[in-house]
Amino acid sequence: MNISKSRLFLAAYLSIFLNFGPNISWAQNELSLEQAVSRAVIDDEWIIANELIELSLSQESISAGQLPDPRMSVGLSNMPLDTFNLNQEPMTQLRIGINQTFPRGDTLALQQRQKMQQSEINPYLRDNRKANIAVQVSILWLNTFLAQQSIELIQNDRELFEQLVDLTGVRYTSAAGLARQQDLVRSELELTRLDDRLAMLRQLQNTNKQKLSQWLPYQLLGKSLSSVTPDIEPPTTRLTSLGQATDFFANHPTVRAHDKRIQIAQTKVSLTQQSLKPAYSVGASYGYRDNAPMGRQRADFISLDLSFDIPYFTEKRQKPKIRASRYTASARQTERILLFKELFSNYQQANAQLDVLDERKILFEDVLLDQMNDLTETTLSAYTADEGDFEEVMRAYIGELNAKIELLEIDVERQKVISRLNYLTATSEN
């Protein structure tokens, strides 16, 4: 019965301790899930690099829409090799020319559009990255939190186990011989197992904290995590069919990014179709002639030329490229359908997991924990009255501790599933 009183005293003490004084100092030294996610998004170098890539592609789009640089030419024509005199022959001339090439059809406009479309993917990729960071950091934070709170639960109950060991020792050494030696050994063994369990949980806690270092600075990781289980709000939308999901997921960042890839593929089809049109080149040159040997003035020349290629052998040159670009565009459309199915499938799986976890949470909170507590009290009372077996007492205490930890695992797993659901139902800000 002393153990039961200790349990009540400990619970009351912890309640007072958690509700008053320490809250102010802990609030300054704890790392909440919201703070971890927010800091990870702010410090993410990938987002910074992606913004620079967007700027780069935007600048490239300006360049892609410009005409090629004109070509200048300087030459000497019909120079006599016997004297190398400019005025000996009437055909000798010094030429200066300029030539401008015009790409096929709307190639320049389409190239500019394609580069701009590539840059427009990046805001959606950043939105998806932010939502994905929230999931990954949440899972690591929750894994660390689970280890931290499991350690706290075991440490809170360890005092009760120590008292049980003391009680067994007293009963064993008493003249009445109320306990057997194996009961004492068993109680000490279970206490050692608790210590081993604590060591494993500390290792797990440290491992997950080190994984968080990928996202968070070390000064934040030095803080302990908030001791309150976070309450992530689940999405309010409930999708029941693929058709409904298709309309809803149309604004998901991954889908919006894929829509841009479809546009890029369609632009490439138009771009390859320009290969059926001729490319033009326009040129002009000026030819200077020196005066004749007798001083007679010679006329200078000006030349104009227009050249273009003729796409004649198209069956095995241009048309296969056009067909290939169309196949790629069709593949992108098909991939869009697969993307919707994947998102909806993951959404259904997450919802099914959440429903089961909700049922288990209610079962543990409303029924199982009370039953485990009643069993512990009953077996302990029977043992102290010399009417029960010590092994039953240990099993009851360990079972109750495991039930508490299992309820904590259910709460943490619920938050993980809700995090995944929030990612799946994320919408783009752009």
Could you read off the pLDDT of 142-170 as tens digits, one per residue? 999 999 999 999 988 877 777 766 666 66
In terms of C-beta density within 10 A (0-12 exposed, 13-18 middle, 19 or more buried), how is residue 373 classed? Answer: middle
Q: What is the pLDDT of residue 82?
A: 78
Could you read off the pLDDT of 164-184 as tens digits, one per residue? 666 666 655 654 444 556 666
Closest CA to 96 of 287, 281, 300: 287
- As a 3-state breakdown, the chain gives helix, strand, coil percent values, each rounded to 5, of 70, 10, 25
How many distinct helices (H) and strands (E) make up the chain? Answer: 12, 6
Cβ atoms of residues 103 and 279 within 8 Å: yes
pLDDT level of residue 27 (50, 70, 90 thresholds): very low
**Poorest-pLDDT segment among 19-28, 105-114, 220-229:** 19-28
Token code pair at residue 210: 């080190």
User: Looking at residues 102-123, what average pLDDT do you find?
Assistant: 95
The terminus-to-terminus CA distance of the chain in angstroms comes to 64
Please state the three-class secondary structure of 295-331 as a single string: CCCCCCEEEEEEEECCCCCCCCCHHHHHHHHHHHHHH
Residue 4 has pLDDT above 70, yes or no: no
Residue 207 has pLDDT above 90, yes or no: yes
How far, in Å, CA of 272 to CA of 319, rounded?
Answer: 9
**In terms of pLDDT, which residue wins out, 368 or 80?**
368
How far, in Å, CA of 427 to CA of 104, rounded?
Answer: 40
Angle at which helices 107-173 and 33-42 cross, to 10° = 150
Cβ atoms of residues 113 and 85 within 8 Å: no
Could you read off the pLDDT of 267-314 as tens digits, one per residue? 999 999 999 999 999 999 998 888 877 778 888 889 999 999 888 888
> Under CATH, to which class is 2-18+28-71+106-277+320-424 assigned?
mainly alpha
Could you read off the pLDDT of 232-267 as tens digits, one per residue? 988 888 888 888 999 999 999 999 999 999 999 999
How far, in Å, CA of 70 to CA of 99, rounded?
Answer: 6
Q: What is the pLDDT of residue 8?
A: 38
Give the chain's mean pLDDT.
Answer: 86
**Poorest-pLDDT segment among 55-64, 85-94, 219-228, 336-345:** 85-94
In terms of C-beta density within 10 A (0-12 exposed, 13-18 middle, 19 or more buried), how is residue 92 classed? Answer: buried
Q: What is the pLDDT of residue 5?
A: 37
User: Looking at residues 321-332, what average pLDDT do you find?
Assistant: 96
